Structures are given as structure tokens and as C-alpha cells.
Chains A and B, each alone.
Chain A
């Protein structure tokens, strides 16, 4: 398996624009997680899915953030409208349900100017 695949790797956008981040989890993994990493706040869990169903979105910072998982092989994280404080590295990760570690994608470095 190629691992967790994220796109794009880098995104630069202007404040107010819509941004969509994409993730393909490892085949067969039941769980998909979205994390955000910043210098100030470290690694934060935003939302996670189990079998394509959102389980906990309490980490989503604002209503400007939304995530979907229409099928087992694809998820999106959308920010609309984007703001400079959304600049961060966004990681997608997937795992089996019980005890297994989460495998992380390469991340999307988002810069909002």
C-alpha cells in the first residue's frame, strides 16, 4: 500500500478563499483522522470518522471548517472562508480500530495570506 495520500502538499491562498484538502486513507483502515499542527498549539485532533461516519468533531475550531468522507477511500477537509490564522500543516491519518497506531500522510502545508 502507498500509505495515506494527501493533496495538495502545499497550498497558498488569499484570505477569504475556500480551501479544500484531500485525503486517501490506507485501504482497509476503518478510522480516518484529521489533525492540525502549528508551532503554538502543537498537534490537534480536528475530527475523526469511523466507517465513513463522523464520530467526534469537537476539535473543529469554527463553523468555517467542515469535513466529509463520502466513501471509504476519500475524505475532504474544507475551510470557507479561510483566514491567516488557519495557516498550519494539516495531517490526515488512518488506522485499524483497536490498538493499532495511526499512520500519517505527508501533510498539506497551508498558507493563508
Chain B
């Protein structure tokens, strides 16, 4: 059974600071996704990481993937209040033939609060 663990689960930080959210998963996969969810809203796709060493950046967020360590990180640079949300990492086992999607297993999410 695939397990996805995020830490921390709760993070309160001040604007302007840097921080990293970690995502560990328990089985071989090279498909990892980061999503953002605002309270009462749907999930918004942030990053798609499909190979070892992949790095993606968008604004103050940067995500990376190390498939050998089964670890992904989401780094926040110079945080601003608008980044307050819950961030999920999710892994697709992609075990079926042909490399098709296999559904996502989500971590429990990191509830991020950025204070002015």
C-alpha cells in the first residue's frame, strides 16, 4: 500500500521568511504532484514532477523530486500572506500497463498560515 507522508502538518510563519515542506512516499513512483487548497475550495494544481531530479518553480514556490530518496520538497521563498493555504503532495503509482494513470494517493496536507 502506498503511503504519502507530509511534514510539517501545520506551519505558521511570518512574511518574508523561507521554509520547506517535505513529502515522503513509500513505493517506487516518478509521478508526484503538488496541489493547493483554499478553505472551502477545490484543489488547484501547482506542480507536476515526472522524473528524478525534476525541479519546477512558479513565483515564490519551488518544487523538486528525488525518486531515489522517495522525497519531494516544496520550498517557499520570502513568504507572503497570499500563500496561506493547505498544500498537498500526491503520488500516482502508475502501476498499470502502458503507464496510464492509477489515481492519486494524497498526503494529509500542510496547513500553512503566513502572518503579516
Contact = CB atoms under 8 A, between A and B. Distances in A.
Nearest to B96: A55
Contacts of A104: 35, 42-44
A100 interface: yes
Interface string A89-108: 00101010111111111110
Contacts of B99: 97-99
A101 B108 contact: no
A103 B107 CA distance: 17
A52 to B, nearest CB: 14
**Which of A43, A48, A50, A105 has most B Cβ within 10 Å?**
A43
Contact of B102 (A56, A101, A103): A56
Contact of B104 (A102, A105, A106): A102
B108 to A, nearest CB: 5
Q: Looking at chain A's contact residues, is the secondary structure mostly helix, strand, loop, or mixed?
A: strand
Contacts of A91: 42-43
Size band of the interface chain B makes with A: 20 to 34
A31 B45 contact: no
B101 interface: yes
Contacts of A105: 42
Interface residues of A, number: 25
Contacts of B45: 101-103
Contacts of A97: 98-101
A95 B101 contact: yes
**Which of A35, A99, A102, A105 has most B Cβ within 10 Å?**
A99
Interface in A53-84: 55-56, 59
Interface of A: 31, 33, 35, 42-43, 45, 48, 50, 55-56, 59, 91, 93, 95, 97-107
7 contacts: A33-B104, A35-B104, A48-B101, A97-B99, A98-B101, A99-B50, A101-B45
Given A42-B108, A48-B101, A99-B50, 9 more contacts: A33-B104, A42-B109, A43-B88, A43-B90, A48-B102, A97-B101, A98-B99, A101-B33, A102-B101
